[in-house]
Every structure is written in structure tokens, then in C-alpha cells.
Structure 1
Amino acid sequence: MSSAFCTDAIGQIHPPFAKGSARIVSLVPSLTELIVDLGLADSLVGRTGFCIHPQEVVKTIPKVGGTKDVNLDKIRKLAPTHVLLNIDENEKPVADALAQFVPHVVVTHPLTLRDNLDVYRLFGQLFGVEAAAQALCDEFETVYARFAQSGTEKQQPPLVYCIWKDPWMTISASTYIADMLRSSGRTVWHPAGEQRYPAFSWEDALQAGVGEVWLSTEPYRFQPEHVEALAAQLGIPVRLADGEMCSWYGSRAIAGMRYLMSE
């Protein structure tokens, strides 16, 4: 185990733990999956109801609410040494409340595809699984080399990536999803403004010359009937996109790159 301290996304410093000595509650679905893939399932004592992968492992882990509506009393009873958060998915008041009784509230905030490497290494060092983290880094780099090359070969029209309807909402250029799509060689349309997940009108999008629409399966649960209706309305191609593959970081990012290469 390394003796160096570990720094999270907001500059908090955490001491490394020996493998198996931590009690981890994850409030981020993709980080729950990553913890399991790093061989730390036995250290996972709590998760959200949205933490559904890998199903056979997490089904026995107690739920502590959602990513936003966290049950602090349930977490307190689990006596975690660490709670894993993400700036986009969890709210600061929750983080502040957790910090009152959890020794280590670990904050993540990957904004680019390659930021996953830092998350792998952080958890590897923090939880005493450096070898497993390095193996994941190596797999990531192998797939990324093919992914980046495939992106240079794409000649596709700008697309709108939709995450919600009523109102329609998309992603800004600064989001992880946008970087994932750009890294795959796709051009993504973003409305003007500084909001990370802005509302928009189809009139503005069509005037900008977009040629394709992706309806993500999360957080809004777009279905094939939404695809059919919007395609008839707009007169341009509309498709359903696997939201987990496009937006989940952690170990799922590797599967996400493979998914986007196949599309």
C-alpha cells in the first residue's frame, strides 16, 4: 500500500486504506460499478437505488435512497469510513451533512473521457488496489487508442443529444457526455449560454443545421415511441442512445467507447 495521501476532485486529502479495511457507501451509480470492478465489493456497505450494476453483486447491498434524496439516517447506521460523491449527481448540502459524521467524503468530477484514468488511480491508491486500478488503466488505454483513431474516420452531421423533454434539455460543451461524443469524432450541437444542461427549442437547433438527434435512455426514459414521434415532427434522423454508455464514467467508460465505435 502506498504511503502517499490521495487528493479528490475538490482538493480534499484522504489517507490510503489497506484493501478490505474501508466501509464504502457510493451515491453514484457508475462509481458503485467501478468499486466492484476494482475488487472491492466486500467493502461496499451502501448504495443508491440507481446503483444497479453489476446486478448480481449490488442486489444484496443496502439502499440509502437516491442520488438526490439521500437518507442520512440509513447512512449513519452503516457507519461508513467513506462516502463517494459526484459534483453533477449529488447536492452540496448532502455532502456537507455527510461530512459531519463520515470520516472521508470523497468527491469526483470527471469532465473528460481521459479523466477516468485519474479516478481509477485515486480509488486504487485510496483503497489499496493499485494493481487492479493499473490493469483498468491499461485496458482503457488499449481501447482508447482504437477509439480515437475511429473518431478521425467519422464524417457525420452535428447531432443534438437530448436528456429530457417538457422542457427539452441537452448538454453543454463542458460536460462529460459532450467530451465522450467529441472523442468519438462526432460534432455535438450546444445552445448558447453557460448552463451545463440547458433547455432549448427545436427551432434554434434546426436553424443551426443539425442533422441528427439522439434521445438518451437516461435520465429521462426515452422510448422508441418518442423516437418515432420526434422523427415525424422534425423530418431528420432520430435514434435512441444508451445513456449508460454515453454518460457513465468509471469502468463503464471502456464499454462506452466500444459502444460508440459500433454505432
Structure 2
Amino acid sequence: MNTSKDFIDAIGRRHLPAADARIVCLVPSITELLCELGLAAQLVGRTGFCIHPHEIVARIPKVGGTKDVNVDKIRRLAPTHVVVNIDENEKPTVERLAEFVPHVVVTHPNVPRDNLALARLMGGIFGAEAAAQRWCADFEAEYATLRASAAGPQRTVLYCIWQDPWMSVSQDTYIASMLAELGWRVPVLDAGVRYPRFTWSEELVHGLDAVLLSTEPYRFTEAHADALEKQIGIPVLLVDGEMMSWYGSRALAGLRYLSRLRTMLEGN
């Protein structure tokens, strides 16, 4: 599912507009997008990781996490739709939800421009087409600005999402596609594994221009970055994980953040 057309064809055609839907969203970034599209009143459930926009989601019942979902609580909420994501949610859980939820909306954006299909899909299903079109126009403008900016040198960067064990991202992830907009690539650490484990070695470090430590899901800090940079001898930057991995409405800010990230590395 690497193009917006594929994204729409694969999941959008299965659903009819539902302006009066009762929505449980198990994807933090899409919960934020639904609120952005004016659909907060239709959200009847969310995960504990659905934290944006705080003042709105605070009033929406929690149904567990993205992996440890409370199926019985969702059943009691009687949703008409549940929104899930292939990376975020477990397939067995989704199959259990499909037994009693009329519509299961499965998402899997892989590249930044998939956000256009995602917004149109949510707008089409839930009767917010006009809001979705406005958001898409803003995204297109921001994307054009990024593409028009002067390209820097190509880089190989290791994007770290966890330590103990150390984990990174593969080239077919949304994060890697965001980095690719800057002409940066991530190394192949374990072919076929989307979030590979790795160990530090001279050979690995020698092939890198920089290491990026994400603030989520592991809460890396500047102290982690400073210590690792002294250890391996190449630039190590702390990066905002939400800006790099949250598709949906936060992707607009994410595109702007890419320009800042390039400046951060070039000025290091």
C-alpha cells in the first residue's frame, strides 16, 4: 500500500458515509485527525495514548492501550465504527472487535502523501468531506514548500525507537519515508523486519552520518543523546517522535519539522 490510490482502493470502498457514527478510535494520530475534522462529538472511545488535543480527548472514555485493548468496554460503548491501524493494533484484537462492531476501518499509511487519502477516507466515511478537503489543501501547500526548499546532501541516519534492546526502523516504514523527503535513508539492519533490533559496532557506526534518538515510544532525552554521541563519535540528535511518526493532522507540523531537522544536522 505505497500510493494514495492503493490506500483508497484497499480500504475506502468498504464503507458508506455515516454522519451519525459512534466511533472508537484505537490510533492516537487518527483520533487527533478526527477531532481536526470536527468529529470529536462522535468519538465515544479512545486509547490512553490518544492524548491530542488534550482538552477534547480528556472527555472521551479510555478503552485501554493500542495493544492491550479492553474489548468488553468497547462492546458496552456500542460503537458503529472502530478505527484501527496495521502497525498500531493487534490482528486478533481487531478480529474480536469485528464480531460485534458493524464497521472496522483499517488504515496503513506508509508515506507522507498517504495522509491525503487518510483525510479523505475519514471525511468520506463520517460526513466531513469539506473539512477533509480543506485539510488536504493545507497539506499540499506545506508539502510543496518542503519540496521547493534547497535539498541538502544525502545522508544515512540510524533512527532509534528503543534501547535495551536497541531498535530502529526499516526502509518501508512511515518514519523512513519522512526521512526520505530530506534525501536521507536508514540502513538495512534485518531484511523483512519493520522494527529491527541491532547491536552497536564499528562497522555500523562507520556507515552512518548521524543517529537520531526519538522521544517516542522510548523516552530518549538530551542526556541520552549527549552520552551516545561521546561514545560513538558521530552526531546524535534528539528528535520529536510525534513529528516523525504521527500521520493524520500532525503531519502538517511534521512536514515543517523536517526542515528544522535538516538544519539541526547540518549545523551540528
**TM-score, length-scaled by structure 1:** 0.92
The Cα of 1:192 is off from its aligned counterpart by: 4.1
Q: Which residue of 1 aligns with 2:171?
A: 173
Matches within 5 A, 1:185-204: 185-203=183-201, 204=203
Q: Which runs of 5+ in 1 are unaligned?
A: 1-5
Aligned residue type for 2:57: V
Which residue of 222, 225, 228 maps to 2:226?
A: 228
Does the 8 Å CA contact 2:166/2:198 hold for their aligned counterparts? yes
Q: 1:7 to 1:180 in 2, by over 3 A?
A: closer
Q: Is the 8 A contact 1:9 1:109 kept in 2?
A: no
Q: How far 1:157 moved relative to its partner?
A: 3.3
Kindly indicate whether residue 259 of structure 2 is the aligned counterpart of residue 261 of structure 1.
yes
1:11: how far off?
7.1
Instruction: Kindly provide the CA deviation profile for residues 89-123 of structure 1, in whole angstroms up to 9, marking residues without a partner as x.
Output: 00000100000110111000001111111111111
2:155/2:183 contact within 8 Å kept = no
Aligned pairs (5 A) from 1:7-18: 9-10=10-11, 13-18=14-19
Give the equivalent residue in structure 1 for 2:182.
184
1:214-252 C-alpha deviation (Å, 9 max, x unpaired): 000111111122112111110111111100000000011
Map residues 54-73 of structure 1 onto 2, 5 A cutoff: 54-73=53-72
Contact 1:84 1:106 in 2 (8 A): yes
1:78 matches 2:72: no
Against the structure 1 CA distance between its residues 32 and 8, is the aligned structure 2 distance closer, same or farther, given a 3 Å change threshold?
A: farther
In 1, the alpha carbon distance for the partners of 2:116 and 2:27 equals 17
Q: What is the CA distance between 1:10 and its match in structure 2?
A: 5.0
Distance 1:190 1:212 in 2: 15
Corresponding residue SS for 2:45 = strand
Matches within 5 A, 1:134-149: 134-149=133-148
1:253 Cα shift?
0.7
Q: CA deviation at 1:185?
A: 2.8
Change in 2 beyond 3 A, CA 1:193/1:116: same
Give distance in 2, aligned partners of 1:107 and 1:191.
28
- 2:248 corresponding residue in structure 1: 250
Query: Is the contact between residue 72 and residue 98 of structure 1 (CA under 8 Å) also seen in structure 2?
Result: yes
Q: Distance in 2 between matches of 1:8 and 1:87?
A: 16
Please state which structure has a larger fraction of its residues in helix.
Answer: 2
**What's 2:94 paired with?**
95
Q: Summarize deviations over 1:112-156 as a string: whole Å, max 9, x none.
A: 111111111111110011100000110000000011223x52125
CA distance, structure 1, for counterparts of residue 41 and residue 155 of structure 2: 46
Q: Tell me, in whole angstroms, the C-alpha distance in 1 between the residues paired with 2:99 and 2:154.
A: 50
Q: Could you tell me whether the CA contact under 8 Å between 1:9 and 1:107 is conserved in 2?
A: no
SS of residue matched to 2:237: strand
Do 2:12 and 2:121's aligned partners in 1 also have CA atoms closer than 8 Å? Answer: no
Give the secondary structure class of the aligned counterpart of 1:46: strand
User: Is contact 1:7-1:13 (8 Å) kept?
Assistant: no
- Deviations 1:63-114 (CA, angstroms, capped at 9, x unpaired): 0000000001111111111100000000000100000110111000001111
> Which runs of no fewer than 5 residues in structure 2 stay unpaired?
1-6, 262-268
Asked whether the 8 Å contact 1:172–1:178 carries over to 2, the reply is yes
Q: What TM-score comes out, normalization by structure 2 length?
A: 0.91
Query: How many residues are treated as equivalent by the alignment?
Result: 254
TM-align CA RMSD: 1.6
Identity among equivalent positions (%) equals 61
One-letter identity of the residue aligned with 2:181: S
The structure-2 alpha-carbon separation of the partners of 1:29 and 1:135, relative to structure 1 and needing over 3 Å to count, comes to: same
- Runs (4+) of structure 1 exceeding 6 A deviation are none
Tell me, in whole angstroms, the C-alpha distance in 2 between the residues paired with 1:143 and 1:255: 9
SS in 2 for 1:251: helix
1:51 equivalent to 2:45? Answer: no
